[in-house]
Homo-oligomer: A and B are copies of this chain.
Amino acid sequence: MPNPSVAMLVIGDEILSGRTRDANLHYLAKELTRAGLDLREARVIGDDGAAIVAAVRALSAAHDAVFTSGGIGPTHDDITAENVARAFGRPISVREDARAILAAHYAARGQELNEARLRMARIPEGATLIENPISAAPGFTIENVHVLAGVPSIFQAMLASVLPGITGGAPLLSQSYEIRRGEGDIAAPLGDLASRYPDLSIGSYPFIRDGCYGSNIVIRGHDGARVDAAMAELSGMFPA
Protein backbone atom coordinates (compact mmCIF):
# COMPACT_ATOMS: atom_id res chain seq x y z
CA MET A 1 0.00 0.00 0.00
CA PRO A 2 1.47 3.40 -0.90
CA ASN A 3 1.93 5.97 1.84
CA PRO A 4 -1.14 8.11 2.51
CA SER A 5 -1.01 11.23 0.31
CA VAL A 6 -1.27 14.61 1.97
CA ALA A 7 -1.77 18.15 0.67
CA MET A 8 -1.34 21.52 2.34
CA LEU A 9 -3.31 24.70 1.81
CA VAL A 10 -1.68 27.89 3.10
CA ILE A 11 -4.26 30.66 3.43
CA GLY A 12 -3.38 34.32 3.86
CA ASP A 13 -3.00 37.55 1.90
CA GLU A 14 0.13 38.33 3.93
CA ILE A 15 1.98 35.37 2.39
CA LEU A 16 1.13 36.34 -1.19
CA SER A 17 2.01 40.00 -0.63
CA GLY A 18 5.39 39.03 0.78
CA ARG A 19 4.78 40.71 4.14
CA THR A 20 5.13 37.35 5.92
CA ARG A 21 7.29 34.41 4.92
CA ASP A 22 5.39 31.17 5.42
CA ALA A 23 7.10 28.76 7.81
CA ASN A 24 4.41 26.10 8.15
CA LEU A 25 4.84 24.36 4.80
CA HIS A 26 8.48 23.55 5.52
CA TYR A 27 7.66 22.42 9.06
CA LEU A 28 4.79 20.21 7.88
CA ALA A 29 6.94 18.73 5.11
CA LYS A 30 9.61 17.66 7.60
CA GLU A 31 7.10 16.26 10.11
CA LEU A 32 5.22 14.27 7.46
CA THR A 33 8.43 12.83 6.05
CA ARG A 34 9.45 11.75 9.53
CA ALA A 35 6.02 10.12 10.01
CA GLY A 36 6.20 8.25 6.70
CA LEU A 37 3.53 10.35 4.98
CA ASP A 38 3.93 11.93 1.53
CA LEU A 39 3.28 15.63 1.07
CA ARG A 40 2.23 15.57 -2.60
CA GLU A 41 1.34 19.19 -3.22
CA ALA A 42 0.79 22.52 -1.55
CA ARG A 43 -1.13 25.60 -2.54
CA VAL A 44 -0.98 29.15 -1.28
CA ILE A 45 -4.06 31.33 -1.68
CA GLY A 46 -5.32 34.62 -0.25
CA ASP A 47 -8.17 35.34 2.17
CA ASP A 48 -10.72 34.86 -0.59
CA GLY A 49 -13.85 32.79 0.06
CA ALA A 50 -14.30 31.37 -3.44
CA ALA A 51 -10.62 30.44 -3.64
CA ILE A 52 -10.79 28.66 -0.28
CA VAL A 53 -13.89 26.67 -1.26
CA ALA A 54 -12.41 25.64 -4.61
CA ALA A 55 -9.02 24.65 -3.19
CA VAL A 56 -10.47 22.71 -0.23
CA ARG A 57 -12.76 20.73 -2.55
CA ALA A 58 -9.99 19.98 -5.06
CA LEU A 59 -7.39 18.96 -2.49
CA SER A 60 -9.82 17.00 -0.30
CA ALA A 61 -10.96 14.96 -3.31
CA ALA A 62 -7.43 14.28 -4.56
CA HIS A 63 -5.65 13.35 -1.31
CA ASP A 64 -6.09 11.25 1.81
CA ALA A 65 -5.59 14.20 4.13
CA VAL A 66 -5.37 17.98 3.83
CA PHE A 67 -3.89 20.49 6.27
CA THR A 68 -4.80 24.16 6.11
CA SER A 69 -3.02 26.97 7.92
CA GLY A 70 -4.24 30.49 8.60
CA GLY A 71 -7.45 32.48 8.71
CA ILE A 72 -9.00 31.20 11.95
CA GLY A 73 -8.31 34.22 14.17
CA PRO A 74 -10.73 36.83 15.57
CA THR A 75 -10.60 39.51 12.86
CA HIS A 76 -12.94 40.17 9.94
CA ASP A 77 -10.47 38.84 7.38
CA ASP A 78 -10.26 35.45 9.09
CA ILE A 79 -12.70 33.61 6.84
CA THR A 80 -11.25 30.12 6.65
CA ALA A 81 -13.71 28.35 8.98
CA GLU A 82 -16.90 29.46 7.21
CA ASN A 83 -15.49 28.69 3.79
CA VAL A 84 -14.27 25.24 4.74
CA ALA A 85 -17.83 24.66 6.01
CA ARG A 86 -19.18 25.92 2.67
CA ALA A 87 -16.84 23.60 0.77
CA PHE A 88 -18.59 20.65 2.43
CA GLY A 89 -22.10 22.17 2.45
CA ARG A 90 -22.20 22.29 6.25
CA PRO A 91 -23.69 25.02 8.44
CA ILE A 92 -21.38 26.78 10.90
CA SER A 93 -22.18 28.37 14.26
CA VAL A 94 -20.72 28.99 17.71
CA ARG A 95 -20.38 25.62 19.38
CA GLU A 96 -20.79 25.25 23.14
CA ASP A 97 -17.65 23.20 23.84
CA ALA A 98 -15.49 25.59 21.85
CA ARG A 99 -17.11 28.59 23.56
CA ALA A 100 -16.43 27.04 26.97
CA ILE A 101 -12.73 26.54 26.13
CA LEU A 102 -12.37 30.19 25.14
CA ALA A 103 -14.40 31.43 28.14
CA ALA A 104 -12.15 29.55 30.58
CA HIS A 105 -8.99 30.75 28.82
CA TYR A 106 -9.92 34.44 28.86
CA ALA A 107 -11.45 34.30 32.36
CA ALA A 108 -8.15 32.94 33.71
CA ARG A 109 -6.38 35.94 32.16
CA GLY A 110 -8.94 38.58 33.15
CA GLN A 111 -9.69 39.22 29.49
CA GLU A 112 -13.09 39.64 27.90
CA LEU A 113 -14.58 37.00 25.61
CA ASN A 114 -15.85 39.66 23.24
CA GLU A 115 -17.66 39.18 19.95
CA ALA A 116 -14.44 39.12 17.93
CA ARG A 117 -12.95 36.37 20.08
CA LEU A 118 -16.23 34.46 20.00
CA ARG A 119 -15.77 34.15 16.22
CA MET A 120 -13.09 31.62 17.04
CA ALA A 121 -15.74 29.30 18.58
CA ARG A 122 -17.58 28.95 15.26
CA ILE A 123 -17.20 25.32 14.19
CA PRO A 124 -18.74 23.62 11.14
CA GLU A 125 -21.42 21.04 11.97
CA GLY A 126 -19.98 17.58 12.52
CA ALA A 127 -16.36 18.72 12.91
CA THR A 128 -13.99 17.47 15.62
CA LEU A 129 -12.03 20.04 17.65
CA ILE A 130 -8.22 20.19 17.50
CA GLU A 131 -6.62 21.20 20.77
CA ASN A 132 -4.68 24.47 20.90
CA PRO A 133 -2.45 24.34 23.99
CA ILE A 134 -0.98 27.77 23.25
CA SER A 135 -3.86 30.21 22.89
CA ALA A 136 -6.92 27.99 23.44
CA ALA A 137 -8.91 28.81 20.24
CA PRO A 138 -9.32 25.36 18.69
CA GLY A 139 -8.75 24.15 15.19
CA PHE A 140 -11.02 21.48 13.74
CA THR A 141 -11.14 18.44 11.51
CA ILE A 142 -13.96 18.04 9.00
CA GLU A 143 -13.98 15.06 6.63
CA ASN A 144 -10.30 14.64 5.73
CA VAL A 145 -9.40 18.34 6.19
CA HIS A 146 -7.53 19.56 9.27
CA VAL A 147 -7.92 23.30 9.84
CA LEU A 148 -4.98 24.73 11.79
CA ALA A 149 -3.84 28.19 12.87
CA GLY A 150 -1.29 30.17 10.87
CA VAL A 151 0.92 31.35 13.76
CA PRO A 152 3.82 28.88 13.55
CA SER A 153 3.98 27.92 17.25
CA ILE A 154 0.24 27.22 17.29
CA PHE A 155 0.35 25.42 13.96
CA GLN A 156 3.07 23.17 15.33
CA ALA A 157 1.25 22.45 18.59
CA MET A 158 -2.01 21.65 16.75
CA LEU A 159 -0.15 19.41 14.30
CA ALA A 160 1.29 17.45 17.21
CA SER A 161 -2.29 16.88 18.43
CA VAL A 162 -3.66 15.68 15.12
CA LEU A 163 -0.79 13.81 13.48
CA PRO A 164 -1.03 10.56 15.53
CA GLY A 165 -4.62 10.09 14.32
CA ILE A 166 -3.42 10.12 10.72
CA THR A 167 -0.40 7.88 11.14
CA GLY A 168 -2.54 5.40 13.03
CA GLY A 169 -0.66 5.92 16.27
CA ALA A 170 -2.46 6.12 19.61
CA PRO A 171 -3.71 9.62 20.37
CA LEU A 172 -1.43 11.69 22.56
CA LEU A 173 -2.70 13.21 25.78
CA SER A 174 -1.47 16.73 26.43
CA GLN A 175 -1.37 19.31 29.17
CA SER A 176 0.05 22.81 29.03
CA TYR A 177 1.45 25.22 31.60
CA GLU A 178 2.29 28.89 31.16
CA ILE A 179 5.53 30.15 32.70
CA ARG A 180 6.20 33.89 32.86
CA ARG A 181 9.94 33.59 32.49
CA GLY A 182 12.28 33.80 29.51
CA GLU A 183 13.23 30.49 27.91
CA GLY A 184 16.86 31.02 28.92
CA ASP A 185 15.81 30.81 32.59
CA ILE A 186 13.77 27.65 32.20
CA ALA A 187 15.83 25.71 29.67
CA ALA A 188 18.08 23.89 32.16
CA PRO A 189 15.38 22.61 34.58
CA LEU A 190 13.17 21.79 31.58
CA GLY A 191 15.95 19.76 29.99
CA ASP A 192 16.43 17.93 33.27
CA LEU A 193 12.70 17.18 33.47
CA ALA A 194 12.69 15.90 29.87
CA SER A 195 15.62 13.59 30.60
CA ARG A 196 13.74 12.03 33.52
CA TYR A 197 10.59 11.51 31.40
CA PRO A 198 11.99 10.12 28.13
CA ASP A 199 8.58 8.60 27.33
CA LEU A 200 7.00 12.07 27.14
CA SER A 201 7.32 14.88 24.59
CA ILE A 202 7.94 18.20 26.30
CA GLY A 203 7.74 21.29 24.07
CA SER A 204 8.35 24.95 24.84
CA TYR A 205 6.49 27.60 22.82
CA PRO A 206 7.82 31.04 23.77
CA PHE A 207 5.91 34.32 23.60
CA ILE A 208 6.33 37.97 24.48
CA ARG A 209 3.30 39.54 26.16
CA ASP A 210 3.02 43.01 27.67
CA GLY A 211 6.75 43.33 27.08
CA CYS A 212 7.56 40.25 29.19
CA TYR A 213 8.99 36.96 28.07
CA GLY A 214 7.14 33.75 28.78
CA SER A 215 6.58 30.29 27.39
CA ASN A 216 3.83 27.72 27.15
CA ILE A 217 5.17 24.31 28.06
CA VAL A 218 3.24 21.46 26.46
CA ILE A 219 3.71 17.95 27.82
CA ARG A 220 2.45 15.09 25.69
CA GLY A 221 2.35 11.36 26.17
CA HIS A 222 0.30 8.18 25.88
CA ASP A 223 0.16 7.55 29.65
CA GLY A 224 -2.03 10.10 31.47
CA ALA A 225 -0.51 9.33 34.88
CA ARG A 226 3.00 10.08 33.56
CA VAL A 227 1.83 13.35 32.01
CA ASP A 228 0.21 14.28 35.36
CA ALA A 229 3.41 13.46 37.25
CA ALA A 230 5.64 15.54 34.97
CA MET A 231 3.18 18.42 35.03
CA ALA A 232 3.13 18.35 38.85
CA GLU A 233 6.91 18.56 38.93
CA LEU A 234 6.93 21.39 36.42
CA SER A 235 4.40 23.50 38.32
CA GLY A 236 6.35 22.82 41.52
CA MET A 237 9.53 24.16 39.89
CA PHE A 238 7.80 27.27 38.55
CA PRO A 239 4.85 28.20 40.80
CA ALA A 240 2.34 30.50 39.10
Binding site for B on A (CB under 8 A): 15-18, 21-22, 25-33, 38-46, 51
Contacts and interface: CB of A to CB of B under 8 A. Distances in A.
Nearest to A34: B18
Given A26-B18, A29-B17, A41 B43 contact: yes
A56 to B, nearest CB: 14
B26 A25 contact: no
Contact of A18 (B15, B29, B40, B45): B29
Given A16-B40, A18-B32, A41-B43, 15 more contacts: A16-B42, A17-B33, A17-B39, A18-B26, A18-B27, A18-B29, A18-B31, A22-B25, A22-B26, A40-B45, A40-B46, A41-B44, A41-B45, A41-B46, A43-B43
15 contacts: A15-B25, A16-B29, A16-B41, A16-B42, A18-B28, A18-B29, A18-B31, A18-B32, A22-B25, A25-B44, A40-B46, A41-B43, A41-B45, A42-B44, A43-B43
Question: Oligomeric state, in number of copies?
Answer: 2
A29 B15 contact: yes
Contacts of A32: 18
Nearest to A41: B45
A182 to B, nearest CB: 27
A36 to B, nearest CB: 12
Contacts of A18: 26-33, 39
A211 B218 CA distance: 43
Contacts of A17: 29, 33, 39
Nearest to A55: B41
